[in-house]
């Protein structure tokens, strides 16, 4: 029976995200609950890491950042559902995700370093949201990698006539000169036409 249970044991990794303003006591409470569930379901906690505050890929419950915690453990399939059920009950938890990393793990053969499963107490400094500058509020800040219409190039083109540069004046002058050039072109054919007329006059005189 023990052998059958060993064959069913699998290794899992769960990452859960706490609110960015979570305090150390609440973070300890959440991780304590996870460790309790793993032990209660005859699982084995292998590793715990607090990754600190990081930016979320998208806002969750109006939170732009969260405190990430990584947990690796071994147990039967029902253990994952129980861990996630308890995480869902914690108000400080924004979201979580679990993946299976190994199958048919011999739990008895896995040695655990006590330091690896010791949760590091979170001492996160209070995070102050930067005040939005007046330039940004008025849309005067260059957004860099946004579309052309957001970066201001289109607006510069619209106001080009009001901000002529000396270089622009030079280009305009060259364009005017080129426009007048075709008027002088017929001069060469006129000279060729005059030459035959002079020759006919000489023949009459002779």
Task: Quick: pLDDT tens for 48-103.
Answer: 999 999 999 999 989 999 999 999 999 987 999 999 999 999 999 999 999 999 99
| CA 154 from centre of chain | 25
Of 162 and 62, the one with more pLDDT: 62
pLDDT tens digits, 90-144: 999 999 999 999 998 999 999 999 999 888 887 777 665 555 555 666 666 555 5
Fold type of domain 2-109:
Alpha-Beta Plaits (3.30.70)
Domain with CATH 3.30.70.60 in the chain: 2-109
Of 28 and 195, the one with more pLDDT: 28
Phi, psi of 101 (to 5 degrees): -110, -15
Phi, psi of 9 (to 5 degrees): -70, 135
């Amino acid at each position: 029976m023990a052998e059958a249970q060993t064959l069913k044991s699998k290794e899992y990794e769960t990452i859960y995200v706490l609110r960015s303003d979570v305090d150390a006591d609440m973070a300890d409470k959440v991780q304590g609950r996870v460790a309790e569930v793993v032990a209660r379901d005859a699982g084995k906690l292998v590793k715990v890491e607090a990754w600190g505050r990081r930016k979320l890929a998208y806002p969750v419950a109006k939170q732009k950042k969260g405190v990430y915690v990584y947990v690796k453990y071994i147990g039967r399939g029902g253990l994952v559902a129980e861990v996630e059920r308890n995480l869902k009950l914690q108000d400080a938890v924004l979201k979580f995700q679990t993946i299976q990393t190994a199958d048919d793990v011999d739990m008895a053969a896995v040695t655990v370093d006590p330091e690896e499963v010791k949760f590091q107490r979170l001492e996160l400094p209070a995070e102050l949201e930067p005040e939005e500058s007046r330039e940004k509020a008025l849309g005067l800040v260059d957004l860099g990698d946004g579309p052309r219409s957001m970066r201001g190039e289109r607006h510069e083109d619209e106001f080009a006539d009001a901000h002529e540069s000396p270089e622009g004046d030079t280009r305009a002058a060259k364009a005017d000169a080129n426009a007048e050039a075709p008027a002088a072109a017929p001069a060469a054919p006129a000279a060729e036409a005059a030459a035959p007329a002079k020759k006919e006059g000489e023949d009459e005189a002779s």
